[in-house]
Amino acid sequence: MSDIHVHELNVNGEAHEVRFAATATLLDILRQQLGMTGAKRGCNQGVCGACTVLLDGAPVRSCLTLAANVGERQVMTVEGVQKDGMLSRVQQALLDSGAVQCGFCTPGIVIALEALLRERPMPDADEIRHALSGNLCRCSGYVKIVEAAVKAAGVAP
Amino acid sequence: MNAFVDPVGASLPRLEAREKVVGAARYIDDHARPGMLYAAIAQSPFAHARIRGYDVSRAKALAGVRAIVTGTDIPIRRVGGVLKDETMLAVGKVRYVGEPVAAVAARDLATARLAAQLIEVDYEPLPAVLSIDDALKPDAPVLHEDLDSYVRAMDGHSHGNVIWDSTLVEGDVDAAWARCDVIVEGTYRTPAQYHAYMEPNGVLAEVDGNGRITVLATCQSVHHVQTRVADELGIPMSQVRAQVSRVGGGFGGKHASNIHSIAAWLARASGKPVKLALSRTQDMEIQRSRHPAVIRLKTGACRDGTVIAREAEITLDGGAYADESPNVLAFAMLMVRGPYNVPNVRIRGRAVYTNKLRAGSFRGFGNPQAAFAGESQMDELAGKLGMDPVELRLRNAMRAGDRWIGGHTATTCQLVSCLEKVREAREAAPALPPPRPGRKRGTAVVAVAHISGLMGTSASVQMRGDGTFALNTGCVDIGQGSDTVMTQLCASVLQVPVDRIVYGTQDSDLSPYNWKTAGSRSTYMTGRAVVAATNIVRERILEHAAAMFECATADLELRPGGRVGIVGVPGKEVGFKDVALRSLFRSGGPIAGYHGFVFDGERFDPKRALIERLAFDNLGIYTFGAQCVEVEVDTVTGRVEVLRVWSAHDVGKAINPTSVEGQIQGGVVQGMGYALHEQLVWDDDGRLSNPSFADYKIPGILDAPAVIVPIVFEDPDPTGPFGAKGVGEISLVGIAPAIANAVCAATGARLRQIPMTPERVIDALEQS
- Taking contacts as CB-CB distances below 8 angstroms, the residues of chain A near B706 are 125, 129, 146
Alpha-carbon distance of B233 to B207, in angstroms, equals 13
pLDDT value for B1: 45
One-letter amino acid identity for B157?
Answer: H
One-letter amino acid identity for A110?
Answer: V
Alpha-carbon distance of B578 to B562, in angstroms, equals 10
Taking a C-beta distance cutoff of 8 angstroms, is the pair B728, B625 a contact?
no
* pLDDT above 90: residue B406: no
Chain A: residue whose CA lies nearest to B280: A43
Q: What does B551-611 look like in DSSP terms, one character per residue?
A: S-GGGEEEETTTEEEETTEEEEEEEHHHHHHIIIIISS---EEEEEEE--S----HHHHHH
Q: What is the DSSP letter of A45?
A: S
Cα distances (angstroms) measured from residue B546 to each of B587, B593, B761: 13, 18, 71
User: Cβ atoms within 10 A of the Cβ of B683, count?
Assistant: 12
Cα distances (angstroms) measured from residue B91 to each of B83, B360, B642: 17, 21, 46
Alpha-carbon distance of B629 to B445, in angstroms, equals 7
Tell me which residue in B22, B662, B668 faces A101 most closely, judged by beta carbons: B662
Mean pLDDT of B385-413: 96
pLDDT value for B19: 97
Query: Counting Cβ atoms within 10 Å, is residue B758 exposed (0-12), middle (13-18) or buried (19+)?
Result: middle
Mean pLDDT of A42-53: 98
Helix (H) or strand (E) holding B444: strand B439-453
* pLDDT above 80: residue A157: no
- Distance between B452 CA and the closest CA of chain A, angstroms: 19
B455-473: pLDDT as tens digits: 999 999 999 999 999 999 9
pLDDT value for B565: 97
> What is the share, in percent, of chain B residues with pLDDT greater than 90?
95
Per-residue confidence at A2, pLDDT binned at 50, 70, 90?
low
* pLDDT above 50: residue B640: yes
Ranges assigned E (strand) in B233-281: 240-244, 274-277
| More reliable by pLDDT, B626 or A2 | B626
Alpha-carbon distance of B473 to B459, in angstroms, equals 5
B197/A contact by beta carbon, under 8 A:
yes
- CB-based contact A139 B662, cutoff 8 Å: yes
Q: Are strands B213-217 and B240-244 parallel, antiparallel or unpaired?
A: parallel
Interface of B with A in 370-429 (CB under 8 A): none
B195-205: pLDDT as tens digits: 999 999 999 99
A138/B contact by beta carbon, under 8 A:
yes
Mean pLDDT of B644-660: 98
Tell me which residue in A78, A79, A95 faces B17 most closely, judged by beta carbons: A95
Mean pLDDT of B56-76: 96
Taking a C-beta distance cutoff of 8 angstroms, is the pair A90, A152 a contact?
yes
A41/B contact by beta carbon, under 8 A:
yes
Please report the ipTM that was assigned to this predicted complex.
Answer: 0.98
pLDDT value for B607: 83
B173-221: pLDDT as tens digits: 999 999 999 999 999 999 999 999 999 999 999 999 999 999 999 999 9
Mean pLDDT of A41-56: 98
- CB-based contact B23 A138, cutoff 8 Å: no
Interface of A with B in 43-72 (CB under 8 A): 43-45, 47-48, 50
- Taking contacts as CB-CB distances below 8 angstroms, the residues of chain B near A137 are 198, 701
